[in-house]
Chain A
Amino acid sequence: MNPLLDQFLSEAREFLESISAKLLELERNPDQTGVMDELFRFVHTLKGNSGLFDLPEMTRVLHAGEDLLDAVRDHRLAFSRALADQLLEAMDFVGLLLDEIGAAPDGKVPDTSAHAADAARIGEALRALMATADTAGTTDTATAATAGGQAAAEAAVAAPTDPPAWDASALPEAVRMTLYRALLDGTAHSLLIYEPDHDCFFSGEDPFFQVTQLPPPLWRRLSTAEPWPNLAELDAYHCVLRFELILALSAEELTEHFRYVLDQVQIEPLSIEALLQPSGRVQDQPLATDFIRTALSQINAHDSEALAQAARTLLELSAADLCIASGLRWLLLVLELEPDHQDRQRALLNAIEQQCFGADGALMTASATERATERTTERGPDGIAESSPDRPGSETSTASPSATAISPEVSQSFRQVIEAQRAILTLRDAPEWLSGRLRSVATSLSNAFASLYAASDSDALEQALAMAVEAKDPTPLQDWLAAQPLPIDAQEEPHPLTTPATASAAANATPDPTNTAPKPSAEDQVHFGRRAEDQPSARTLKVDQVKIDRLMNLVGEMVVAKNALPYLAGRAESVHGVRELAREIKGQYSVINRIAEEMQDAMMQVRLLPVSFVFQRFPRLVRDIARKLGKEVDLVLEGESTEADKNIIEALADPLIHILRNSLDHGLEGPEERERLGKPRVGRLRVSAHPLADRVLIEISDDGRGIDPDVIRRKAYEKGVIDEIALERLNDQEAVNLVFAAGFSTAAEVTNLSGRGVGMDVVRNAIARVNGTIDLRSRVGQGTELRLTLPLSMAVTNVMIIESADQRFGIPMDAVVETLRVPRSRIQTIKHHQAAVLRGRLVPLMALNELLALNVEPIANADDELAVVVARMEQEELGIIVDDCRETVDIILKPMVGVVASIPGYAGSALLGDGSVLLVLNPMELL
């Protein structure tokens, strides 16, 4: 998987979490500017990151969100629930896209264009919020769209998400001139960019028909989003066209015409400024400098006739396809149509000056200085051209570097560029695109040097490039680079960039990689090494869970393996009779035992996750559900820092969400009903977690209507969950527990939240799967409380070893209440079932042999007492008669697999220290 994408995904998810949290916080307290700023920053960063990948839909939505938040931040718009709703939905959409990208195979960024319509809809909704703010709130009403209410039209006009500002220079000069006249006349003209959806044919659209129904455009262009594939591979039904038109229609008329595909069109009004551009071949015109100087003074003197005359003269002297000629034609046109618009004329002269001449430093510099002197109000372009005024254009690279005094920043970035190219050149692989790579390096180098020295040794560079491409070897370019003078700054650096070694290589011009390669790669290391140092060393590691799991398994094996030592000690003493050795082994064992336990503990710590991992979704969830149900709920979260094993925490998420939904849907009353009942309007939902010995206790309580045992009894009877006798016999608590029965639902009607009867039994099973228990208490009219207890970890299980019929079994300690010896005389038989009174309660007794169908009588001890393990089963207790109870051990419980997987009664098996296999019973399944 692409690591960059990976990181983006995980970061983006974190951002989404933070954004939701901030939104909710703002909703409670909208005046916190600090939170607002943070929120904006999150969205902004996320948008920026998404731009790294080809995810136009995501970027589009985030951009709209960012704009909206910006408006809120500047107090142009008030934060509201509707706004939060809209933003949360947008974030959900982004989350959906993230999931899709994460699920994509082979780590490529998938094509998310299927969501383009959604993205457009969400983007528009966000912008609509802003549009209403603009029209209602401030004077900042959108200028282009005259129809005030047409939010949709505005959205389409102002959609700046897609390709950056359209470049009017694509238009031929004649068209632009016509447009200029037309715009001056006041006729509305618009630019339309229509990019139909890739799948639009399948929804019956015919974009070309749409376009041809428009009046003949002033200008049109048809291009494609991607280059045409080989004809044999062409998918005629995958629309890749892009229409660009300029029409004598207003934005409103176009919006009306494209009202069904507004998300696919971009309608922009045309501005005169964008049209006024000289275009054409760039070449120096000796008289131009003089002309511009006099022209500026003529404009200042309002002498438009003289200016026109001068322009005409120069135009005659210039070739018609030159940029300057185009500029002059424009100037004449402006003079003709708008003789008093001096600013426009000046702007045009500026454009001519900046665009129409080649990279001739002399001319640039001269005109720049002149401009600076003539119009002191405006600053000349700062930078390289001015700072090297003496640089003769014809000089080549042999000139002394002292002439190029440049600022440290420029020098720094220059060096970075050069270093990067150098690094590329040292790559020794020869891919198919090598020549392209070489060309790109040459271009970068030529540009970089040109920026510094106005004119550079471009001929030599081209030669070197040609050689390099010919030989498929970057050495000539390296040589050229080595021969270049570098800025003074750079030469003062401790590592000289030009070395005798490379210079001599240049002189020999022998492509000898062994000679040249090591040097640049050393540079490389210096370069990248510095960058690595810049980064603060990471204090947290992100590790794949699989690796942690493996480590944990190994630690577990270790814990089990160390258990073999006591056996060894026993054997040393009993078999070999070396008591001394046995004691030493035991001593070593205690050391290893301590280390192993610490290792296990440390491993647990690594896997521990705070319950906030699950809890943090609740505020949003509760808010959404409560709003949907029209209830008011105050969610209280407690003990979010309580920790438990990752697997447990993850297994907890769904059951908890289910429980919360139930509470919201069935438990809490609506505000009116609550008031009538004398309760506060706002319902209270409390979720707390705290550690309880080696378990975690999670309590979910509400102050709603509670569960009415009578209703439950009746419903359960109606649904056939219980029979008539049970109906009479069940006490209230037992009745309430019926909600855990499969297929039980009390809701009168099925809503999309709950009431489908697959509720609490699923919850109970999910909790039971991680060895958790669930306990429900409820009082009518006062609320319901659910208590979940969960083990901290599932990795190592503590079991008690018992013996029966000469076999050893394990019973999880979680299930064991007590072990005791019961005299045979105290065992009574009630209706063929054995039972005994233990601590004042009647506990049924079953022999393990009987449960496992082993045809052996339990063995009593010398005093005729039977060993009994009292195990907890659901809410009841069962005494299991065994032959003997042994020690407890930590084991790694492996579930039964393969052929034996379906045998009931066993939780799994484990390996003991002496190498034997221990079967671990599951008391629940025994009966």
Chain B
Amino acid sequence: MPFDARKNLLVADTLLSVEDAEVLLEWLLKNPRGRINLSACTHLHTANLQVLMAARPKISVWPTLEPLAEWLKTALDKENKDHAKNDTGR
């Protein structure tokens, strides 16, 4: 398992594969207020992204990899990002 589940905190490994989405979803269902540390993550499969978008957990540490972090912030945290600030189309 590419996760290190601690109490209320999930530390993700470098790569989250498509199968891991299931695990992630289960963990988030069990820990609705759980936080996720993505610092090591370099890529996550789209299914994981969907789970994160649907669950909107708190991300304790964003990925170190800048492009991925940008994308995840777009997907999960739109209010904080300036590129989405006056986005009226939504």
Name A's B-contacting residues (CB within 8 A).
167, 169-173, 175, 196, 201, 205-209, 211-212, 216, 219-224, 228-229, 231-232, 234, 236-237, 239-241, 279-280, 321
Contacts and interface: CB of A to CB of B under 8 A. Distances in A.
CB-based closest 3 A-B pairs: A170-B89, A208-B46, A236-B21
Contact of A208 (B24, B45, B70, B90): B45
Contacts of B49: 208, 241
Contact of A236 (B22, B86, B87): B22
Interface string B60-78: 0000000110110011000
B85 interface: yes
B85 A212 contact: no
A760 B50 CA distance: 57
A231 B53 contact: no
A220 B74 CA distance: 7
Contact of B74 (A201, A222, A237): A222
Contact of B83 (A169, A219, A224): A219
A234 B43 CA distance: 22
A540 B64 CA distance: 72
Given A231-B54, A232-B29, A234-B25, A220 B83 contact: yes
B59 to A, nearest CB: 15
A175 B54 CA distance: 27
B36 interface: no
Interface of B: 18, 21-22, 24-25, 28-29, 32, 43-51, 53-55, 67-68, 70-71, 74-75, 83-90
Contact of B25 (A206, A236, A240): A236
Contacts of B43: 208-209, 212
A529 to B, nearest CB: 44
A212 B85 CA distance: 22
Contacts of B88: 169-170, 279
Contacts of A224: 53
A2 to B, nearest CB: 31
**Chain B interface helix/strand/loop/mixed:** helix
A755 B74 CA distance: 62
A169 B89 contact: yes
Given A207-B46, A236-B22, A212 B71 contact: yes
Given A175-B83, A236-B21, A236-B51, A209 B45 contact: yes
Nearest to A231: B55
Contacts of B54: 228-229, 231, 234
A220 B67 CA distance: 12
A237 B74 CA distance: 21
A115 B24 CA distance: 31
B24 to A, nearest CB: 8
Nearest to B21: A236
Nearest to B56: A228
A208 B75 CA distance: 11
B83 to A, nearest CB: 6
Contacts of B55: 231, 234
Contact of B86 (A173, A222, A234, A240): A173
A231 B55 CA distance: 6
Contacts of B70: 216
Given A231-B55, A279-B86, A239 B25 contact: no
Contacts of A216: 67, 70
Given A221-B89, A222-B53, A236-B22, 12 more contacts: A169-B88, A169-B89, A170-B88, A211-B71, A216-B70, A224-B53, A228-B54, A231-B28, A234-B25, A236-B47, A241-B53, A279-B86
B53 A208 contact: no
30 contacts: A167-B89, A169-B89, A170-B90, A171-B87, A172-B83, A172-B84, A172-B86, A172-B87, A175-B83, A196-B46, A201-B45, A206-B18, A208-B43, A208-B49, A208-B71, A209-B43, A211-B71, A221-B87, A221-B89, A222-B75, A224-B53, A228-B53, A231-B29, A234-B54, A236-B24, A236-B47, A236-B50, A241-B46, A241-B50, A280-B86
Contacts of A279: 86, 88
Nearest to A205: B46
Contact of A201 (B18, B83, B89, B90): B18
Nearest to A173: B86
A45 to B, nearest CB: 33
B12 to A, nearest CB: 15
A208 B43 CA distance: 9
Contacts of A170: 87-90
B74 A239 contact: no
Contacts of A241: 46, 49-50, 53
Nearest to B45: A206
Contacts of B53: 222, 224, 228, 241
A561 B49 CA distance: 74
Contacts of B21: 236-237
Contacts of A212: 43, 67-68, 71
A280 B86 CA distance: 8
Contacts of A234: 25, 50-51, 54-55
B71 A220 contact: yes
Given A279-B86, A280-B86, A231 B25 contact: yes
Given A209-B43, A232-B29, A240-B50, A223 B90 contact: yes
Contacts of B87: 170-172, 221
A237 B47 contact: yes
A577 to B, nearest CB: 93
A216 B73 CA distance: 14
Nearest to A222: B75
Contacts of A221: 74, 84, 87, 89
B47 to A, nearest CB: 5
Contacts of A209: 43, 45-46
Centre residue among B46, B51, B68, B75 by max chain A CB count within 10 A: B46
Nearest to B49: A208
A205 to B, nearest CB: 8
B70 to A, nearest CB: 7
A170 B87 CA distance: 6
Contacts of B24: 236
Contacts of A206: 18, 45-46
B22 to A, nearest CB: 6
A224 B75 CA distance: 10
A211 B49 CA distance: 12
